[in-house]
Amino acid sequence: MAKKNSGKHDGSATIALNRKARHDFFIEDRFEAGLVLEGWEVKSLREGRAQLSESYVLLRNGEAWLFGAHVTPLSTASTHIHPDPTRTRKLLLKRSEISRLIGAVERKGYTLVPLALYWKRGRAKLEIGLAKGKKEYDKRATDKERDWQRERGRILKGR
């Protein structure tokens, strides 16, 4: 019998994570988007050559675009073209999702950040987070809470 999909993407199918986004933002909602890619980009993603650390998502003319994502080209793929590693890539979302995102981003302090790049049924997907920026004291509070949880685990384990 086939295994049911739990809604979360499989850890082995993960291409790249944006850990900095979880540190710098409060993630309030998540969306899954497809990507418009070229052939050399797909080959590079299969090799795991992608970085999302400095990337961001913008909404322009009713479309979502990924800026700043770095996909390192393979030296053996597409020798006849000159690939641009940080080109702007179009994101594929439903019209209802885009209108919801436009409404949310227009509110004060909200932004769209890429969280993870992964494979789903042979297609590259990008997990986008609707996020609100953290202040410096929020980051310190988060670090303090994480340290307390870790210490509490040690105390309970030592019993």
Is 2 domain-assigned?
no
Place of tokens 């073209």: 81
In a domain, 82, yes or no: yes
Please report, for the domain that includes residue 147, its CATH number. Answer: 2.40.280.10
> Is residue 152 domain-resident?
yes
Q: Is residue 8 assigned to a domain?
A: no
The C-alpha angle with vertex 78 and arms to 128 and 114, in degrees rounded to 5, equals 10
Range of the domain at 108: 13-158
What are 10-39's pLDDT values in tens digits? 556 888 888 887 878 888 889 999 999 988
Q: pTM here?
A: 0.76
Burial tier of 69 (Cβ tally within 10 Å: 0-12, 13-18, 19+): buried
CA distance 155 to 137: 27
Assigned domain for 4 exists? no
Q: Tokens 């030592």 identify what position?
A: 158
pLDDT-flagged residues of the chain (< 70):
1-12, 77-78
Residue 77 lies in a domain: yes
Q: How many domains does the chain have?
A: 1
